[in-house]
Chain A
Amino acid sequence: MMRLVQTQKHPFHVVDSSPWPLFTALSVFLTFSGLTLYMHFYSKGGFILALGLFFVVICASFWWRDVVREATFEGQHTSFVRNGLKMGMVLFIISEAMLFFAFFWGFFHASLNPVPEIGCVWPPKGIEALNPFHVPFLNTLVLVHSGAMVTWAHYSVLAGNRRDAISALIFTILLAVFFTFLQAYEYVNAPFGLSDNVYGSVFFMTTGLHGFHVIIGTLFLAVCLIRLITHHLTKKIHVGFEAAIWYWHFVDVVWIFVFIFIYWWAFPVEV
């Protein structure tokens, strides 16, 4: 560290050699090979898929552990580096928005001009859509309030009130877990399935992709909670936490669109 301070004449973080990019690439390759084999009924496909996923989780954990060490203990994240990380997060969220845009496009393509094969109506003939003002509305309340909670946590960090920040973040994570529980409950009790024409496909694809993002966001916030408890975050410097908050608000906004269009707008009105 001392040698670095004495010799480094620029504010950038020149990273050390790391095994994680290569290992992550190999793990992802193993995951998708396993998935392909599983989908084509090869006997060991499921095992290879599970092994690949396990390695992806291990690689991600160790890689981010290294990033936390570089930031917190080595002091490599100067203000220039932090701005770069923030820009990276913004671009990542924009790319995620584009991904959801693609599935909303699929939804509108199928629902605005329903084909004769599904009865020229939306929801298709025989599909009993879920009432948006039952569990989905409760989910909306839960997610919107988790957004308010995480803002409380953020301002508590900025104010240097660590105890409140920890409480607020714990409440946020509890609401996030409650949301996932409600989605699972809704999936198990849904009167239609994955293979019930384009409605089932687009419903489970979009809400499932959103649910996956909620789980990732919950883990992201949980890591921030651990870092908050172990004094990694300061009033002025907490880029990882800010990134988690942005990601959580993004997930929140996507849900608003999912609720309005896929649940509410597509729900048949009794005439």
Chain B
Amino acid sequence: MAMIRSVARTVSRVAAPTPIRTTTRRMMSSDGTHEEIVQTADMWFKISMLGTAATIVPFGLYMVYVESSHGDHHHEQPAYDHLQIRSKNFPWGKCDLLDSKCKKALAASA
């Protein structure tokens, strides 16, 4: 009798429909108390602003200096077979899509 009761209990437990969760637990999301969230927002504000001011601005200015003083000074390379490979033209013409030097040379020769 005890065994029958045990089986009946197990069956009813397995067969019972899973209750629909009604609480709004946020899966895979940041959470915390309001104070914690406000503090974290403040921390990321400081990281963003200090980081930008301390790294992007000075390094950006340095890059402007570098590019304006010796930008586009590339060494001429020998015409190796594996460079500028062409079996036929591109659909847009003879030059690589972004090769402005080739496009200028082509325009000058025309």
Contacts and interface: CB of A to CB of B under 8 A. Distances in A.
Interface of A: 10-11, 38-39, 41, 45-46, 79, 82-83, 86, 90, 117-119, 124-128, 134-135, 137-138, 141-142, 144-145, 148-149, 151-152, 154-156, 158-159, 161, 164, 168, 171, 187-197, 236, 242
Contact of A168 (B28, B45, B81): B45
B37 interface: yes
B55 A141 contact: yes
Contact of B26 (A124, A189, A191, A236): A236
- Majority-rule SS of B interface residues: loop
Contacts of A156: 41
Given A86-B27, A128-B74, A152-B44, A159 B34 contact: yes
Contact of B44 (A10, A127, A155, A193): A155
B56 interface: yes
A164 B37 contact: no
B72 A189 contact: yes
A158 B63 contact: no
Which one of B78, B80, B82 has the greatest number of beta carbons of chain A within 10 Å? B82
Contacts of B51: 144-145, 148
A142 B51 CA distance: 10
A240 B91 CA distance: 39
Interface of B: 20-21, 24-30, 34, 37-38, 40-41, 44-45, 47-48, 51-52, 55-56, 59-60, 63, 66-67, 71-72, 74-75, 77-78, 80-86, 91, 96-100, 102
A154 B30 contact: yes
Given A79-B24, A158-B37, A171-B48, A126 B56 contact: no
A195 B96 contact: yes
Nearest to A185: B67
Given A126-B78, A158-B41, A188 B100 contact: yes
Contacts of B25: 79
Nearest to A188: B98
A148 B41 contact: no
Contact of B75 (A46, A90, A128, A137): A128
A194 B92 CA distance: 13
Nearest to A195: B85
Given A155-B40, A194-B96, A124 B82 contact: yes
Nearest to B102: A193
Contacts of A117: 81-82
A161 B84 contact: no
Given A128-B75, A152-B44, A38 B63 contact: no
